[in-house]
Structure 1
Amino acid sequence: MKSKQSSGISLLSFVLLLLAIACNKADHTDSESEDITKGEEVINATPLTGTNPTCMYAPNYGDTILFTKPTTGGDFFVNPVNNSGVQGTYLSWPDGLMLNRTTGVINLSQSETGVRYKVAFVKKGTTDTCTSQLVVGGMTYLDHIYALDQNDTLAKPVFNADPFGPSICDASDDTDYPDNNSSGNNRCQFDNAAPGSKANDQKLRVRTTSGIINLKKSMADGMFGPNLRNGDFKMIPILYKLNDASNNATQTITVQVMYFDKVSSIPQNLQLEVASKNFSMFNYQIVNGKPRPPLLIIAGLSR
């Protein structure tokens, strides 16, 4: 039986319960992505058979999960397979999808991967908004508060915006770091940037085969230095490759890691942000606002 990742924090559980009772569909905002002017590689996919028949202009990209691909000298693009010759405006939310508002072309190389999006089309001369949903395949981490005194220490990757899906990578232990000459395997490679640019070089202990982050070890190894202060944070990029439909294309995710001495020191707005994003993720809903970067909050004590 599959189970949700537990925070072990009673306040967050209470907030999640309130959200479950009071949750309304979030209002959307238009994407501010710039028009795409590059033209290196564009694909057209086979149309879906399950397109909404009541809204013929709902953007259709041939599948509900889109993957970036390796290219030579350029980015990877995907075209909508419908609306050819129809004028209008494309929109998307939440932030992170590089969408051409005129043509609907998506630059997958520059989009945030591992995120669920809504894409909309408004035909010129109308106010009708036709929407569809898609996932840009890839990896992310759950926004979460990790209480070290509760042995809540490992941030595990989530693939293709499915928090209940299995890992596509092999398991690994606490020897799986670049310091030990580890570099992943033929299924997954994490933190494969050049020496000096790795997340592990900043003491964020990312396992190279499984993608699991050991936050307790990161703290013990001095990620925030010797003088810890509440609210200290780092923005750390992690390069990775997956042997899935992305065909080992190099991808990047930036994580925000933040420290507090105890859970009660964490500002309420941050606790609510974590709870809200988790509620959306676990219910396969669109995150309102900015789903990236994932926020990993380390608390020394759970009280």
Structure 2
Amino acid sequence: MLRFRSIIILLAFAAALHSCDKSQTAPDPDPEPPSPTPVKLSYGDSIFYNSPQSTDYIITPTASRAGTYIGFPDGIDIDAVTGAINITKSEAGLKYKVSFIPSGKTDTAVTFITVAGINYLDGFYNLSTSDSLINPIYNAHPGKDIPGINSGSLFDIGAGCNSNGCTVNVVNGQINLAETVRNGVFGNKPANDERKEFELVYSLNDNSNKANIRLKVKLYYYETVNDITPEAYAIIAERQGTMFLNGVNTPVATQAKVGKPRPPCIFIVGR
């Protein structure tokens, strides 16, 4: 009988110990929250081409979410609510940073898209140091070959540049700045800070299927480096990082910057 009572007491003691072992039964008073799934933004591709069709070509995010969409730099036609981008109405030849902020959150998803086409690099071109020719840049990628040269691509369709004195090579899109000045674009005796704007219409034998694309180009003239105005330097400074987003030898642009890369501004220095 005594042995039976001892067994009961030992069992009761073991049960009490088990009930006091909080590590086995009690929930964690401060559990770590599960890691949130990062928001992703995609348009299904990174390069988009204009179409020769008259209707607008519009792309949308692969996933529809509530929030705010922001495009940078200026020139991208984007719906801030849906994220839909009108490729036809966006400036071609530029790489854009598209950001998405989900409703009720602060984290931001980012992606980059390029609207295929050409552009010219903003800058100062000194005719006395052989800076007399300026080549187009394809798909915001310096050094990338332009497709269709001598096989379907055409530049200055309608002669909007050449007929007005701005010499453009119709085969490769190269602008001859020295000849343009000699043509009298800025007058027989060019004045400092004289400026002219031209519209270049071109078509490329690439996935755009030779769609006509328009690009305005702005030329400035200064006799010497000392004649360059503060405004010209300011234009160059505010455009830093707007042409090659996340790209070559250029800092990634931020949305705090002005971000107006069009029209390309070409500053010609005579000597």
Same fold (TM over 0.5): yes
Counterpart position of 2:72 = 93
> Which amino acid in the other structure matches residue 241 of structure 1?
S
The counterpart of 2:184, out of the listed 222, 236, 241, is 222
Per the alignment, residue 165 of structure 1 pairs with 144
SS of the counterpart of 1:255? strand
Decide which moves more: 123-132 or 270-279. 270-279
- What pairs with 1:48-197 in structure 2 (closer than 5 Å)? 55-58=38-41, 60-71=42-53, 73-82=54-63, 84=64, 86-170=65-149, 185-193=150-158
> Does 2:260 align with 1:290?
yes
Per-residue deviation, 1:269: 4.7
Contact 1:241/1:251 (8 A) holds in 2: yes
How far apart, in 1, do the equivalents of 2:252 and 2:138 lie? Answer: 16
CA contact (8 A) 2:69 2:98 kept: yes
Question: What SS class does the counterpart of residue 128 from structure 2 fall into?
Answer: helix
The Cα of 1:123 is off from its aligned counterpart by: 1.4
State the distance in 2 between where 1:158 and 1:54 align.
38
Q: CA deviation at 1:56?
A: 2.6
Q: Which residue of 1 aligns with 2:219?
A: 257
SS at match of 2:217: strand
Residue 3 of structure 1 corresponds to none
Distance 1:261 1:111 in 2: 35
Deviation of 1:293 (Å): 1.1
TM-score normalized with structure 1 length: 0.70
Name structure 1 gaps, 5 residues minimum.
Answer: 1-52, 171-184
4+ residue runs of structure 1 moved beyond 6 angstroms? none
Evaluate the alpha carbon distance shift between residue 258 and residue 54 of structure 1 in structure 2; reply closer, same or farther with a 3 A threshold: farther
Distance of aligned partners of 1:277 and 1:55 in 2 relative to their CA distance in 1, 3 Å threshold: same
Give TM-score scaled by structure 2 length.
0.77
Q: Distance in 2 between matches of 1:223 and 1:247?
A: 33
Q: Structure 1 263/186 Cα, relative in aligned 2: closer, same or farther at 3 Å?
A: same
Q: Which stretches in structure 2 are left out of the alignment for 5+ residues?
A: 1-35
Q: Give the deviation of 1:222 after TM superposition.
A: 1.0
- 2:168 is paired with a residue of what secondary structure? coil
Deviation of the 1:216 alpha carbon: 0.6
The answer to whether the aligner puts 1:300 opposite 2:270 as a matched pair is: yes
SS across alignment from 1:235: strand
**1:178 maps to what in 2?**
none
Distance 1:54 1:264, change over 3 A: farther
2:210 equivalent to 1:248:
yes
What's the offset of the Cα at 1:283? 2.5
Q: Report the RMSD for the aligned CA atoms in angstroms.
A: 2.1
How far is 1:276 from its partner?
6.7
Q: Higher Cα Rg: structure 1 or 2?
A: 2
- Conserved in 2, the CA contact under 8 Å of 1:256 and 1:296? yes
Q: Percent identity?
A: 35
Contact 1:162 1:284 in 2 (8 A): no
Q: Give 3-state SS (helix, strand or coil) of 1:132's partner.
A: strand
| CA contact 1:117–1:286 (8 Å) conserved in 2 | no
